[in-house]
Amino acid sequence: MDYDKLAEVYERLEDMPSKLGKRDILAKLFEESPASDLEKIVLLATGQVFPSYSEEELGVAEKMMRRAIEKATGHSETQVVEEFKRTGDFGLTAENFVKSTKQSTLMRRKLTVDKVFGSLKELPEAVGAGSQDRKLNIIAELISSATPKEAKYIVRTALGTLRIGVAEGIVRDAIAKAFGAEASNVEHAWNMMPDYGHIAAIAKTKGDEGLKKIGIKLGVSLQVLLAEKAPDLKTALEAFERSIIEVKYDGARVQIHKNRDKVNLFTCRLEEVTRQFPDIVKLVKENVHADTCILDCEAVGVDRHTGRPVPFQQLSQRVQRKHDIERMMEELPIQVNIFDVLYVNGRSVLDEKLSDRRDEMEKIIKVVPGKFQFTEYVITKDLKIAEKFYKHALEIGEEGVMVKNLDSEYLPGRRVGYWLKVKPTMEPLDLVVIGAEWGTGKRTNWLSSYVLGCRDPATGNFLRCGMMGTGLTDDQFREMTKKLQPLILEEHGRSVTFKPSTVFEIGYQEIQRSTNYDSGFALRFPVLLRDRSADKGPEEADTIDRLRKLYESQKKKS
């Protein structure tokens, strides 16, 4: 298939507000795609070149893209930077420059989906000396051969900023409609094998029966079973006839795949992190006595001096680390807390009761206390015992507890009430918007990713304590941009700072220590509850003292 046909579909998707409309556009595209291109087209339609579980990344930064546009179009660095400032989108920058380039369209090579997909797939393979130049040449060659519209979407795909409003549910329904399959079967396949390209090929050739047969594959991450939040411990305890209460750790959920001597580690977002945690790989090889298995765990960072858990934000540095792994292993040791098993010695145990899965788990795990162990737990229906255990979980610096149904199966990707989390309720904060970034893709020309500040009563300054980009609709982003734009004091690239004026009421999961913000704290998963500017000025915003007090109280440390 010619790539310009896919670019036209991207444009239609970008302009289509309706989810059903997007589904229909994609379904027609998938139905008409030749079998040889189908998997590539489905992945590209989601803005990907590699499936979600793959550790491969294109590795294209904005600086490299700027240089590629310069090389492909003959424009200077200053011209590209100025155009990007104007558009806020390297895709639009490339489109505009390709339109104006004097290169004859007769000199351009017709791009196909196979050519674009194959070229982008080569990017991670460029390693070692001269790798950056090879990547630059690959991108510049694609842009040089592209029409203006093609250039826009090639650039966005390479940067991971396609943003055409195609969520997983839309792709699922489009595959179902294109090939006459049940959406529930497509969803089952996705939960077991998160690769819509492969799923579309199965749906096309084998239909519903083929989708139903997609099962566990070692080395490919499953979607994890999700928990729901309970209003309180009593409600959670009363939800099940047989319950197990486990400590809810402040760590990173890790899915461990062992296939004899090969170990793969995945996060709950399907990202492979095997290279980042060689210490976990070693623990698995030495202490899991099964040829093949899949374990569900929580990895926790441990302070090497005190032995106490550290906040997730510190652990996330290891999750994101690509280099200097050995030093990070020494600075931040890991504790693995195992709570479920999904597959043992060639057999799926997803349909078995949690109590039976735990029996299987205990048969194959050699516990190394403080390093490689089962989650701390208690089995009880007694509320007093449960409350004592909950208090203990908070006292040791963890988030709360999980209450789980011992008679439940494991349903990948589902939130079905089998697991309930109980955590302290955090009070919302009134914080001032002191900065933002100009958006990209769909949010081009909108201010987003708001920088939040708390008030320092000693100086009157506002100290950064988090960034928030969720909780607003498109209309709200548009209106907030109108409101905030006149308050801009400084602008550096896409980043802006504001005159402190706008107060947001912010919800969040918790407050953590942070060296990234001058307040010394960071809000985890902040979300907008409401705009308080109409009834509250910046001088009434919450102070650094209140953040500190809430931080101390949330952990209830002894």
CATH code for the domain of 434: 2.40.50.140
Same domain, 153 and 272: no
Report the 10 Å Cβ neighbour count for 226. 15
pLDDT at 478: 87
* Residue that finishes a domain, picked among 99, 133, 159: 159
pLDDT at 313: 64
The H-assigned helical ranges of 241-349 are 278-287, 312-320, 325-331
Which residues, 6 or more positions from 353, have their beta carbon under 8 angstroms from its beta carbon?
406, 407, 408, 409
Task: Please indicate whether residue 248 is annotated as part of the active site.
Answer: yes
Q: Is 419 helix (H, G, I), strand (E, B) or coil?
A: strand
Same domain, 528 and 496: yes
CB–CB of 287/368 below 8 Å? yes
More confident position, 76 or 425: 76
Range of the domain at 91: 48-159
Same domain, 358 and 417: yes
* Residue that finishes a domain, picked among 422, 445, 478: 422
Residue 16, in any domain of the structure: no
Residue 37, in any domain of the structure: no
Residue-averaged pLDDT of the chain: 90
Same domain, 460 and 416: no
pLDDT tens-place string over residues 189-223: 999 999 999 999 999 999 999 999 999 999 999 99
Same domain, 244 and 369: yes
User: Given a cut of 90, is residue 1 above it in pLDDT?
Assistant: yes
Same domain, 369 and 497: no
Q: What is the pTM (predicted TM-score) of this model?
A: 0.74
User: Given a cut of 50, is residue 558 above it in pLDDT?
Assistant: no
pLDDT at 489: 83
Residue 210, in any domain of the structure: no
Same domain, 237 and 368: yes
Residue 33, in any domain of the structure: no
Residue 226, in any domain of the structure: no
CATH code, 276: 3.30.470.30
Name the nearest CA neighbour of 313 among 355, 250, 363, 268: 250
pLDDT at 213: 94
Report the distance separating Cα 150 and Cα 458, nearest Å.
54
pLDDT at 167: 79
pLDDT at 258: 98
Q: Which amino acid is at 504?
A: F
pLDDT tens-place string over residues 378-406: 999 999 999 999 999 988 878 899 999 99
Report the distance separating Cα 218 and Cα 216, nearest Å.
6
Instruction: Report the domain count for the chain.
Output: 3
User: Given a cut of 80, is residue 535 above it in pLDDT?
Assistant: no
Report the distance separating Cα 466 and Cα 387, nearest Å.
32
pLDDT at 233: 94
Same domain, 251 and 310: yes
Q: Is 130 helix (H, G, I), strand (E, B) or coil?
A: coil
pLDDT tens-place string over residues 335-372: 999 999 999 999 999 999 999 999 999 999 999 999 99
CB–CB of 312/508 below 8 Å? no
**Six token digits for residue 114:** 């196979």
pLDDT at 415: 81
pLDDT at 385: 96
User: Given a cut of 70, is residue 105 above it in pLDDT?
Assistant: no
Same domain, 391 and 483: no
Residue 403, in any domain of the structure: yes
Residue 168, in any domain of the structure: no
Q: Measure Cα distances from 299 to 201, 302, 422, 532 in Å.
A: 35, 10, 19, 38
The one catalytic residue in 22, 40, 204, 248 is: 248
Rounded to an integer, the average pLDDT of 166-187 is: 94
Q: Kind of pairing, strands 334-344 and 372-374? A: parallel
Same domain, 396 and 286: yes
pLDDT at 555: 62
Same domain, 296 and 414: yes
CATH code, 120: 1.10.3260.10
User: Given a cut of 50, is residue 557 above it in pLDDT?
Assistant: no
pLDDT tens-place string over residues 246-303: 999 988 899 999 999 999 999 887 888 999 999 999 999 999 999 999 999 999 998 8
Same domain, 344 and 455: no
Residue 211, in any domain of the structure: no
* Residue that finishes a domain, picked among 113, 144, 159: 159
pLDDT at 103: 53
Rounded to an integer, the average pLDDT of 165-173 is: 88
Rounded to an integer, the average pLDDT of 439-467 is: 87
Contacts 24+ apart (CB under 8 A), 378-387: 378/244, 378/245, 379/242, 379/243, 379/244, 379/245, 379/406, 380/243, 380/245, 381/237, 381/243, 383/233, 383/234, 383/237, 386/233, 386/237, 386/245, 387/233
Judge residue 505's burial from the number of C-beta atoms within 10 Å of its C-beta, 0-12 exposed, 13-18 middle, 19 or more buried: middle
